[in-house]
Amino acid sequence: MRGMTFLDQSDRTTLAAARLFAEHEDGAVVGEDAGMLMVASARPFLRSLFYSSARRFDRSAPAEKAVAAVRAFGAEHGQHLNLWASVDGDADLIAAAETAGMTRGIELEDMGIASAPPVPTPAFDVELAEVRDAEEADSFAEVHRALRIEADQDPETVLHFASHGVLLDPHVHAFVAYFEREPAACALALRDGDSAGLFWVATRTSARNRGLGALVSAAAVNGAFQAGAKSATLTATALGAPVYRKLGFERFSARARYTF
């Protein structure tokens, strides 16, 4: 699977993820207009793929109307939404965003894989656990909270995606790696039909360079494949892309962020 096929898979799973995360965050508002799915998060976070975000679900809708809908929805809820556009699939939307004066920000790498990657063998002082109950879900959230605190950000922003409702959803395959019995890394894969998306991979700063990110990523993707997924996609930062490449993911496009 390459090119547009992976793009379609990525669209499918990121849309499903955006809806699921918003559904389980108290205070989040979802809107659909002009082919755009828009989410006003209860706790906006500028740089994320999902907080206060807008993404396309219908490429037949006029791009100018899509951009106008994003502006109107953001104004209605007092937020500047992150509009995410595929570099290869949304040339018209990108042109409309730039014509409307939106600012282009970070560009992330879209990657895909058509077979389950091997799960590395954990080191003797590492324990890998699938999130199956509230306690494990709290451990998953703890990893992200620690990183928010370290970055002087609101730790409760993790409730947008690390709630019990999300992590214990039957379509979610979430894993936590414990280093010396402390939650150290986590990742989740969301399965939508035969597609899966890998999201929210994180490793605590004190536990990095031990292969924990690769471990939880591979475990989550494998969980989705075992449940019926035939492909998986992700959107990676420059820091994360080499990790996923070693697992067998390949670049198929890029995704750019636009804001007013």
Span 185-210, mean pLDDT? 97
At residue 5 the predicted structure's pLDDT band, cuts being 50, 70 and 90, is confident
Q: What pLDDT sits at residue 52? A: 96
Q: What pLDDT sits at residue 44? A: 81
Burial 131-148 (b: 16+ CB within 10 A, else e): beeeebbbbbbbbbbbbb
Question: Under 8 Å CB-to-CB from 121, ≥6 apart: which residues?
Answer: none
Look up residue 21 and give its two tokens: 């995360």
Is the confidence at residue 46, as pLDDT, over 80? no
Question: Under 8 Å CB-to-CB from 8, ≥6 apart: which residues?
Answer: none
Q: Which residues is 259 bridged to in the sheet?
A: 103
Q: What pLDDT sits at residue 1? A: 44
Superfamily of domain 126-229: Gcn5-related N-acetyltransferase (GNAT) (3.40.630.30)
Correct CATH for 4-109 of 3.40.630, 3.40.1440, 3.40.50, 1.10.3470: 3.40.630
Domains 4-109 and 126-229 share a fold: yes
Q: Which residue has better confidence, 85 or 4?
A: 85
Q: Are 216 and 230 in contact (CB under 8 A)?
A: no
Nearest to 6 by CA among 247, 254, 180: 254
Query: pLDDT tens across 224-246, in order?
Result: 999 999 999 999 999 999 999 99
Is the confidence at residue 81, as pLDDT, over 60? yes
- Domain boundaries of the chain, sorted by first residue: 4-109, 126-229
Is the confidence at residue 116, as pLDDT, over 50? yes
Span 133-150, mean pLDDT? 98
Nearest to 171 by CA among 201, 199, 139, 202: 199
Q: Edge-to-edge strands of the sheet including 29-33?
A: 29-33, 36-40, 53-56, 82-86, 250-259, 103-113, 231-236, 195-203, 182-192, 172-179, 126-130
